[in-house]
Chain A
Amino acid sequence: MISKIRRYACVALLLTTFGLTVPAFSAGTGLVFVSNEKTHNITVLDPKDYSIVKWIETSRRPRDMRFNNDNTLLYVACGDDDVIDVIDVATLEVVDHIPTGPSPEVFYFSPDDSLIYVSNEENSSLQIIDVAEKVIVGEISTGAEPEGVVVSDDGKTVYVTSEVADMVHVIDAETQTLTDNIIVGTRPRRFVLTPDGQELWVSDELSGEVSIIDRATNQVTHTLQFLPPGFRQVDVTPVGMEITKDGSTVYVTLGRANHIASVDAASKEIKEYVLVGSRAWGVALSPDENTMYVTNGLSDDVSIIDVPSMKVTQSIPVGRVPHTVRIDG
């Protein structure tokens, strides 16, 4: 009950704020948000001409970002201040902070936005945070250095990688217990779930692979290896992934190999490699899926790819060590 009252109070406060300031952009405008780990800010790009709309100062070391379901708020995990900052998408201001355990990196919401599952690499745990109450309501031990987190669409299963233990932990969301572990490649990082809910893709940074897990059996059914022209296996360090809405194509950033790969999700065939900037990491598609944004952690810029032609059209300088890119759409 108390939480509801607080939530209403919070909404009322936000409404008042909106009343006083004319929002520069309404939701769903395709604004591009890039978190910069070392400059402690977020670069907001206008999708029309890629001009910088705003630099949003955040808590220290912003990394993963997620929108709530209606895209009114953007949550940003800030590793060096142990908080998740909350940004009002309409005003582009930080409006709230949610305390976490030490060094939050990657997180995911429950389907109703009420819970945040966040990997906590210092404590080697997955923490569960009640968003309204801002309290940690659960904590599950993982292998050392948990990283990628994803929640199934039905909210029943949480997956988290352990970079050091080379495995994916399968967690029952209701009972908050570990139900299975799946050994994958070396240094597993991020996930995508296919829209049909059947497959879970995991990027294995150090072995240069993507492991594809059948969710029904928790078995690795395919292992993809990447080798862009002119590179060696040891240079290929896949991290970020993005899947098209129809589930037909997965884009994988290849880190030090400075390329992204596009993979046909049905046949698991690698269709194409595109050269981007140095240590390609984060990736996101525009709402119409015609434009792709890739963060390059070592060249401090974002590569913009025209998807129909799969050509890089521009590189936009952002802050130092860009980590994640998300698009309001």
Chain B
Amino acid sequence: MLMGYVELADDPRYDEDRAEAEIPVRPLGRPFDATAVGISDAEQIGKVIGVDFAIERKSGQNIEELIAATQAWSEQGVGFILADLPAPQLLELADALIDRDMMIFNVAAPEDALRGESCRENVIHVIPSYTMLADALVQYLAFRNWRKILVLQGPLEGDAQMVAAVERAAQRFGAQIVEVRPFQLTNDPRQREQSNVALVTSDADYDVVFVADTDGEFARYVPYATQLPRPVVGAAGLVPSAWHWSWERHGAPQLNSRFEKAAGRRMAGEDWAAWTAIKAVVQSVLRSKSTDFQPVKDYLLGERLTIDGFKGNPLSVRSWDHQIRQPILLTVGNAVIARAPLEGFLHQTNELDTLGVDEPETACQF
């Protein structure tokens, strides 16, 4: 059973120098690396049920090339595609494939709009949204009673989305945004009010500093540089993530070690998402006892799906926006400090739905 994998050959998110710096909000390498682990994990199941799981990679110069490749796959009967694409290209791909028997797994785009007003029925989001990440973090801040948050906002569109997510989370979990201040990454002395960390964190009373910086370069230099001696969270310091190489529970060391052997580097959130997408397909094939698109898709989106994501809780797909519900790890450089949802954050059906946009609030309409 062949699956497809699409990515852009020149994708600035995978700039090698930035990966080398291990900026926590950025991927450490192409998530395709994780598919080898997913396929090899599926080998035994494949032998027993007589299905040969495989994945083919297409790296394109532009989205048109990738759309052509997926359409060709579709003619061959390929139904499940992993997409490592930025949000705009992901939507183009989804729209191009909407009339085909194809399901796309989003492994690297955290934008909330993809799960909200721009949602598509043929996309399953494995990577958590900005909102899920912010909810996880703010649950922890509320749990520690660090409720006054100073937000530093970068100039990028993603930074604004992170800020919106943390503002929403603060309201939900009883924290308070003291102020949102812009920052700039520059050495221009005329901009020092926005570029000097001590200045940008002065004249305010706060328990923590949240840095909204999807680029991650400014955030690197915020810890230990704030005016007040306060923890830094968000894009540096305590960082919420789908995965971390130091996670020790629920079989994680074995997965990390298999990944490191296969990829020659450590495993990050996008890698986990790619591995989990394959696992979701394999589990749905195994349990639906079929390789046909419709029964596998029905199982994937159904209530009986229990994916073992090595994060404790069984994972499944939210019916209202096709986001995979999952625990979030709160990480520092070499440790996982906590796993959200934190104890005491309750939900009427599934505690995992305290993270992210819940059914009554969704803007998604399929």
Contact = CB atoms under 8 A, between A and B. Distances in A.
12 contacts: A122-B257, A143-B44, A144-B258, A163-B308, A165-B45, A166-B286, A167-B44, A186-B314, A206-B308, A207-B306, A232-B350, A234-B314
Q: Which DSSP category, helix, strand, loop or mixed, fits chain A's interface?
A: loop
A121 B44 contact: no
Interface of B: 40-45, 47-49, 251, 254, 257-258, 283, 286, 306, 308, 312-314, 350-352
Contacts of A186: 283, 306, 308, 314
A-B pairs with the 3 shortest C-beta distances?
A143-B44, A165-B44, A181-B48
Contacts of B257: 122
Given A165-B48, A187-B308, 6 more contacts: A143-B45, A164-B41, A167-B44, A186-B314, A206-B306, A207-B314
B283 A183 contact: no
A60 interface: no
Contacts of B351: 234
Contact of A166 (B43, B45, B352): B45
Contacts of A167: 44-45, 48
Contacts of B251: 145, 163, 187
Interface string A213-235: 00000000000000000001010
A162 interface: yes
Interface of A: 103, 121-122, 142-145, 162-167, 181, 183, 186-187, 206-208, 232, 234, 256
A190 to B, nearest CB: 14
A157 to B, nearest CB: 18
A164 B279 CA distance: 9
Contact of A165 (B41, B312, B350, B352): B41
A183 B288 CA distance: 13
Contacts of B350: 232, 234
Contacts of B286: 166, 183
B254 A121 contact: yes
Nearest to A38: B248
Contacts of A144: 40-41, 44, 254, 258
A212 B258 CA distance: 31
A183 B48 contact: yes
A147 to B, nearest CB: 9
A63 to B, nearest CB: 13
Contact of B314 (A121, A162, A206): A206
B254 A145 contact: yes
Contacts of A166: 45, 283, 286
Name which of A142, A144, A163, A167 has the most chain B CB atoms within 10 A of its CB: A144
A92 B258 CA distance: 37
Contacts of A206: 306, 308, 314
B254 A234 contact: no
Contacts of A143: 41, 43-45
Nearest to B349: A232
Contacts of B314: 186, 206-208, 234
Contacts of B254: 103, 121-122, 144-145
Nearest to A233: B314
A142 B350 CA distance: 34
Contacts of B42: 165
Given A121-B254, A122-B257, A207-B306, A234 B313 contact: yes
A205 to B, nearest CB: 8
B283 to A, nearest CB: 7
Nearest to A237: B312
Contacts of B283: 166, 186
A121 B41 CA distance: 12
B44 A142 contact: yes
Contacts of A103: 254
Contacts of A232: 350
A145 B286 CA distance: 18
Contacts of A187: 251, 308
A165 B38 CA distance: 11
B286 to A, nearest CB: 7
